[in-house]
Chain A
Amino acid sequence: MSEELKCIHCGNSCGKSPVIFEGNPFCCSGCSTVYQILHASQLKQYYQIEPMAGIKIDEMQLPASETYSFLDLDQFKSKILNFSEGGISKVSFFIPEIHCASCIWLLENLHSLNKGIIQSFVNFPKKEINITFNEKEISLRQLVDLLVSIHYIPEINQHSIDKKSADQSDKKLFIKIGIAAFSFMNAMIYHFPQYLPGNEFLEADMKKLFGWLSVLLAIPVLTYSASDYFLTAYKSLKKKMISIDLPIALGLITLFTQSLVEILSGKGIGYIDSLTGLVFFMLIGRWYQGKTYQALSFERDYKTYFPLAVTKITDSGNVTIPLEDLKPGDQILVRNQEIVPADSILKSATASIDYSFVTGESMPVTKKAGDFVFAGGRQIGNAIELTIEKEVQQSYLTQLWNQVENPLTAENKLNTIVNRVSQYFTVVIVLIAIGSGLFWYFKKPEVALFAFTSVLIIACPCALALTVPFTFGSTMRQYGRKGFYLKNTAVIEHLYKVDTVVFDKTGTITNAQSTDIRFVGKQLTAEQLLIIKSLAFHSSHPLSKTIFNSIEADEILEVKNFQEIPSLGISGLVKDIRINMGSRYFVTGEMSKDENLKTEVWIYFKDAVAGHFQLENEYRPGLRELIRKLQKTHELHLLTGDNDAEKANLIQFFGNDKSLHFNQSPTDKLNYIRKLKQEGRKVLMIGDGLNDAGALNESNVGIVIADNVFNFSPACDAILQSKQFGKLDKFIQFTHRSMTIVKAGFLISFLYNVVGLSFAVQGNLTPIVAAILMPISSVSVVAFASFSIHLSAKGYRF
């Protein structure tokens, strides 16, 4: 084929019949509408900063204009606005679509689109926009509609409201680091003269001043910067456990008292430089480890998925009510692209419900009047009316969350490698300290106390505590580059321990984006295919689009009398031949018997039923290879909500049918994981939809597969980009390398400890030894961990 025309808005192929506006080609009218809006407001620079950066959203997929009507109500407005006074309001939205410099430029020039917008600021890493606007000129609802009209759809849900107050901890850590750095640098200057030859000529006054200034500097470091270490050490002691923080806290206290004693007695100025340096390095480690993906959310539950408000139908018209006020028996209206908030019964004649976020199945399901509709589905097409059957909290899907116990049990949290090591470490150090104290007590009593404290000081496991943050922090960054995003660094260790892998089927090992199409019936001629393609061109239903894309043809024929009957099908005249296309009921008049089977599109051609297209989700590329590799090291299971129609295919992949389980409800999946765990297995669950949410939470590690990682995904430990699915085994294997590097890092820090201890037990630990040894051990462990992860990731092809 020759050069394809590309839409100047979104860069997608324009196909055979582009929409032309002012000589520019567009793939669809949605894109050209945005172009026209921007063009009218002189914002065409949007297309120059990054070419074809626009967001493609079909007009069908845009939320209905009434969707945001709840934003006019004060009760919602006050929750969403950050600040409002005298008509000037501030609001911030999470917009997952923000992806490039053009986005930043356009969103910060919103004031050109509407005069009511005073200022807008984008926070790119968070994919957030902060808008200050004048409510007299533009209402909150109009503001949201404006963003929607240029295809930047903000996410407005319970989660975005709750999140607002929680962003303070990062700032606190920065301030702690700042104070520690300040004290560290100054303490070094005061200590430095002592380390030089000839320090005995230093004036006594000067010594005193330096000593007291050092103590002053140490106080905020100890009480503020290092407060967390004391707190967690105390907490774990109360639970009769020893964590890494205990020897750290012990070391810090000893360092400070020993320094204080030396300064008071005028013997020297102590170890304040080592103390502040230690805290500084450890806080840096904490910061490095804690840096996560700001725009990704790993904590989402049904609250983030459901809308804030629903439209209730009453005798006196439609009213908008908050979701929590919804009661069984209420009549509600659900518009195009809105979500069914609770289990209910369909009142309208037909509905087409997309459960892709729930089950992973990409094709919408057709429902008829009187059918039961589970919460979580998204209506596609005209607005429908429903009668609520159960409260939101009692719905099938939401109940899943109530069944899951808190996965962060104490056992889970404390049973990490660093805490296991530090248990032995602490005991050994205390024994050595007492031992050397006793030894000197009998030999030379005046050195005894000093030897005892020296051991505790030099053994302060700073390097040990830094090994894990830097190794796992670097590993997490390597994963992030390859499209595998972890919630936190602890996931790496859990992933390392995993011995059982459980897959979900639809949307996880099958690809929701690409479908396998087969025609069942008499072979179609090229002309017939062209006619079908031409008819499908006029419908925006996902099935029509799939069929349209699957047929290759160079032209589109004219369609007369085109009709689209929502949820049933389409019909029209092409070359004076009547064709109908749609559900079995629509085309043949028969009801389909087995509804849960494969998606079918029936074709009526001229005067007879020609047959039907069968659409199946394709298995993800690389699945066979992945399973073959994983099978060597892990036990594999498959859980699916579908029936066993695919059994034969799946046995080919998995080798046997013992671990394949069909017709599993979300609760069954959850219980299956629970059972595996009770058998002592460490389970990795890989899923994608809300129906896996319970199982994902219950498992030791839950990974979600997502095409767009910024879109909604259920609560999990990690998000894997669907393109990288075939590399999952490599990601798991890499945790073994990380673990080896952690162990090597421990070894290095132990070696430093041996050197330090050999000084300490002899009673020879001078401040200069501590001042050299402690930072060197920390820095070298950090360098070792970061570089070796970097190097081994390079040599290891993800």
Chain B
Amino acid sequence: MSVVFVLVFAAIIMAGAFLIAFIWSVKNGQYEDTYTPSVRMLFDDPEMKIDEETEKGKMKTDKP
């Protein structure tokens, strides 16, 4: 049954990592605004169009 000890510690370390990630995200301000990002992600990227016309070479590397 000693494997359970290993598993218990592995589990608590993993859970602890998530807790730290959560605290970091709260301090980082990710919960301050839970609405705007949902709208923002729907906008087309306007920079692509403009930059394609003016500085073609520069933008190419950024394209996926």
Interface residues of chain A, those whose CB is within 8 Å of chain B, are: 42, 45, 49, 101, 104-105, 108-109, 112, 121-126, 167, 170-171, 174-175, 178-179, 182, 185-186, 189, 203, 206, 209, 213
Contacts and interface: CB of A to CB of B under 8 A. Distances in A.
B39 A203 contact: no
B58 interface: no
Nearest to A178: B22
A104 B15 contact: no
B36 A178 contact: no
Nearest to A103: B39
B8 A213 contact: yes
Contacts of B33: 123-126
A396 B62 CA distance: 62
Given A209-B8, A213-B8, A182 B50 contact: no
A94 to B, nearest CB: 14
A596 to B, nearest CB: 47
Contacts of A206: 1, 4-5
B10 interface: no
A125 B35 contact: yes
Nearest to B42: A101
B48 interface: no
B39 A171 contact: no
Given A124-B33, A125-B33, A206-B4, A189 B11 contact: yes
Nearest to B16: A182
Contacts of A125: 33-36
A188 to B, nearest CB: 12
Contacts of A167: 32
20 contacts: A104-B36, A122-B36, A123-B32, A124-B33, A124-B39, A125-B34, A125-B35, A125-B36, A126-B33, A170-B31, A171-B27, A174-B26, A175-B26, A178-B22, A178-B23, A179-B23, A182-B15, A182-B16, A182-B19, A209-B5
A45 B46 contact: yes
CB-CB nearest 5 A-B residue pairs: A124-B36, A123-B33, A182-B19, A174-B26, A178-B22
A775 B9 CA distance: 27
Contacts of A203: 1
Contacts of B12: 186, 213
Contacts of B26: 171, 174-175, 178
Nearest to A220: B19
A170 B35 CA distance: 16
Contacts of B31: 170-171, 174
B63 interface: no
B27 A101 contact: no
Given A189-B11, A206-B1, A213-B12, A179 B35 contact: no
Given A125-B34, A170-B31, 15 more contacts: A45-B46, A101-B42, A104-B36, A105-B43, A108-B43, A112-B46, A123-B36, A124-B36, A125-B36, A126-B32, A171-B26, A174-B31, A175-B26, A182-B18, A182-B19
Contacts of B23: 175, 178-179
A170 B12 CA distance: 27
A108 B1 CA distance: 58
B39 A101 contact: yes
Interface in B1-59: 1, 4-5, 8, 11-12, 15-16, 18-19, 22-23, 26-27, 29, 31-36, 39-40, 42-44, 46, 50
Contacts of A49: 43
A182 to B, nearest CB: 4
A186 B15 CA distance: 8
A209 B9 CA distance: 11
A172 to B, nearest CB: 9
Contacts of B29: 171
Nearest to B39: A101
A408 B18 CA distance: 41
Contact of B19 (A45, A123, A171, A178): A178
A656 to B, nearest CB: 50
A185 B14 CA distance: 13
B13 to A, nearest CB: 11
Contacts of B18: 182
B5 to A, nearest CB: 7
Contacts of B19: 178-179, 182
B17 to A, nearest CB: 11
A167 B11 CA distance: 34
B50 A108 contact: no
A495 B60 CA distance: 63
A167 B32 CA distance: 10
A178 B46 CA distance: 38
A530 to B, nearest CB: 47
Contacts of B50: 42
Contacts of B4: 206
A170 to B, nearest CB: 8
A719 B16 CA distance: 43
B33 to A, nearest CB: 4
Nearest to A104: B39
Contact of B35 (A109, A124, A209): A124
Contacts of B5: 206, 209
Contacts of B22: 178
Contacts of B46: 42, 45, 109, 112
Nearest to B50: A42
A206 B33 CA distance: 44
A189 B36 CA distance: 37
Contacts of B35: 124-125
Nearest to A193: B4
B46 to A, nearest CB: 7
Contacts of A112: 46
Contacts of B40: 104, 108
A81 B12 CA distance: 43
Contacts of A186: 11-12, 15
